[in-house]
Amino acid sequence: MDKIALLFSGQGAQYSGMGKELYDASPAAKAVFDLADSIRPGTSTQCFSASKEDLSLTINTQPCLYCVDLAAAEALREQGIRPDFVAGFSLGEIAALTFSGVLSPEEGFSLVCRRAAFMSEATAKTGGGMAAVLKLSPEQVDSLCAGFSQVYPVNYNCPGQIAVAGEKNQLAELCRAVQEAGGKAVPLAVSGAFHSPFMDKAAEKMAQHLQNVPVRAPQLPLYANLTADLYGSEEAGIRHNIAQQINHPVRWQAILEDMAAQGVTTFIEAGAGKTLTGLVKKTVPGAKAIHVENAATLASAISSLIGGNE
């Protein structure tokens, strides 16, 4: 039988007004935002009406996108959609952990707020930036980065697309080297060098914080960014994966390829934008890739999945 994977979006797709239609259309989605507001007052207002500039601040981006991710997923679950596998890209992994039962809804939102704070603090001290490298192989990108002391390959997104992170001047030099090698480099609109050693302090703080956070075995097969493998049930291993993904690469292409090998033919992106949908199309040609971020896409997804129509 064909299997379904639910994917949770990461940073970069935020926009003013995100989540409002889900809030209005689904009681389950509304409950996600209401819980967030009870822990971090004003979160839903930020999602629905804050400027793009405010939403692009890491301290705001992560809790807001987490809410939209989880709201979209819970709206699907409310309609009887049950995925066979789940995974989240970067901060999306926290929403995936919550959806799969590793964290309670309260713990998940509180944790993403902590993660945002730790990473924002690290960025304030280290600076840095990121860029997407296109049209080169992983080996070529790894080799180019090895020529710099503070630039690292960090997100293996799909064939021909790898994100790099590091010190801004060296990053600019790397982008020139990429062009000379026949590739293309596109600066990313993020505030720090995520998933690199620039985030070491944030990962350390997260590891310390997690010692007091209860975790449970996932109730759904859940992939880890750190390993591109499934989470186990051991608490120490779960905590290790959550903390270490902050300063280690996201192995997204490998996750998608393994899902396909396990029989997944339908991939649903839950959250703002269609970034992950695009990565699915490039990594698993022929797979059904749909996204849910508002009332129209929710209705379309339910019709497609339950009605069997595109």
49 is annotated as an active-site residue: no
Find the catalytic residue in 9, 26, 90, 110.
90
Nearest to 109 by CA among 183, 36, 192, 51: 36
Name residues whose C-beta falls within 8 Å of residue 95's C-beta, 6 or more positions apart in sequence: 8, 66, 69, 70, 73, 88, 108, 112, 270, 271
What tokens does 43 get? 């979160």
Find the catalytic residue in 44, 100, 110, 195.
195
Instruction: Give CA–CA dist 66/232, Å, rounded.
Output: 23
HSE at residue 99, side-chain half, CA atoms within 13 A, is 38
Q: Compute the C-alpha angle 117/118/120, nearest 5°.
A: 65
90 is annotated as an active-site residue: yes
Q: 262-292: string of b/e by CB count within 10 Å (b at 16+)?
A: eebebbbbbbbbbbbbbbbbebbeebbbbbb
Which residues form the catalytic set?
90, 195
